[in-house]
Amino acid sequence: MAETEAVALEQLPVDERLYRIRHSTAHVMAEAVLRIFPEAKVAIGPPIENGFYYDFDLPRNLTPEDLEQIEEHMRDIVAGDHQFIREVQSREAAAGLFADQPYKLELIRELPDDQEISTYTQNSFTDLCRGPHVDSTRRIHPKAFKLLSVAGAYWRGDEKRPMLQRIYGTAWENPKELRAHLEHLKQVEKRDHRRLGKELDLFSTHEEAGSGLIYWHPKGSRVRIAIEDYWRAVHREGGYEMLFTPHVGKAWLWQTSGHLDFYKENMYAPMVLDNAEYFAKPMNCPFHIMIYKTQMRSYRDLPLRWGELGTVYRYERSGVLHGLLRVRGFTQDDAHIFCTPAQIGDEIKEVLRFSLKVWDDFGFKQIKAYLATRPPKSVGDEDRWLTAQASLQRAIEDQGLDYELDEGGGAFYGPKIDIKIKDALGREWQMTTIQFDFNLPDRFDMSFIDSDGKEKRPYMVHRALLGSLERFFGVLIEHYGGAFPLWLAPVQALVIPVASAFDGYAREVAELLFRAGLRAEADLSDDRMNAKIRNAQAAKIPYMVIVGENEAQARSVSLRTRTGERSAGIAVDDFVRQMRDKVDSRAEI
Partner RNA sequence: GCCAGGAUAGCUCAGUGGUAGAGCAGCUCACUCGUAAUGAGCAGGUCGAGAGUUCGAAUCUCUCUUCUGGCUCCA
Catalytic residues: 285, 314, 332, 334, 336, 416, 462
Q: Which of 94, 96, 85 is nearest to 115 (CA)?
A: 94
> How many other β-carbons are positioned within 10 Å of the β-carbon of residue 469?
23
Q: Contact region for RNA (CB under 7 A) — 124-132, 382-390, 413-421, 440-448?
A: 124-132
Does 323 engage in binding with RNA (CB under 7 A)? yes
- With beta carbons less than 8 A apart as the criterion, state whether 285 and 462 touch: yes
Q: How many whole angstroms separate alpha carbon 232 and alpha carbon 390? A: 30
Q: Is residue 538 near RNA by the rule CB under 7 A?
A: yes
Among 115, 124, 298, 451, binds RNA (CB under 7 A): 115
x/- letters, 493..532, toward RNA (CB under 7 A): -----xxxx-----------------------xxxxxxx-
Nearest alpha carbon to residue 483 among 185, 196, 189, 183: 196
Nearest distance from C-beta of residue 457 to RNA, angstroms: 35
Q: 425 and 364 in contact (C-beta within 8 Å)? A: no
Q: Which is nearer to RNA, 128 or 226 (CB)?
A: 128
Over its C-alpha atoms, the chain yields an Rg (Å, rounded) of 30
Question: How many whole angstroms separate alpha carbon 351 and alpha carbon 197?
Answer: 32
Least gap, CB of 283 to RNA (angstroms): 23
Return the number of the residue (62 or 488) whose C-beta is nearest RNA.
62
Which range touches RNA (CB under 7 A), out of 8-16, 255-263, 384-392, 547-555? 547-555
Give, as ranges, the residues between 471 and 500 that touch RNA (CB under 7 A). 498-500
CB of 282 to RNA, least distance (A): 18
Residues of this chain, 249-278, that bind RNA according to CB under 7 A: none
Q: How far is the CB of 10 from RNA (least distance, A)?
A: 25
**Of 317, 515, 555, 577, which lies in the binding site for RNA, with binding defined by CB under 7 A?**
317
Distance CA(336)–CA(240), nearest Å, equals 10
In this structure, are residues 47 and 37 in contact, taking their beta carbons and an 8 Å threshold?
Answer: no
554 binds RNA (CB under 7 A): no
Nearest C-alpha neighbor of 411 from the set 429, 384, 390, 436: 436
166 touches RNA (CB under 7 A): yes
Tell me how far the alpha carbon of residue 411 is from its chain's centroid.
19
199-258 positions binding RNA, by CB under 7 A = 205, 207, 211-212
Residue 93 sits in the site that holds RNA (CB under 7 A): no
Could you tell me the CA-to-CA distances from 176 to 138, 180, 229 in Å, in that order? 17, 6, 45
Interface with RNA by CB under 7 A: which range of 3-11, 132-140, 378-386, 560-568? 560-568
Which letter, b or e, does each residue of 281-314 get, where b requires 16 or more Cβ atoms within 10 Å of its Cβ? bbbbbbbbbeebeeeebebeebbbbbbbbbbbbb
Task: With contacts defined by CB under 7 A, name the span among 155-163, 389-397, 409-417, 465-473 that binds RNA.
Answer: 155-163
Binding of RNA at residue 63 (CB under 7 A)?
yes
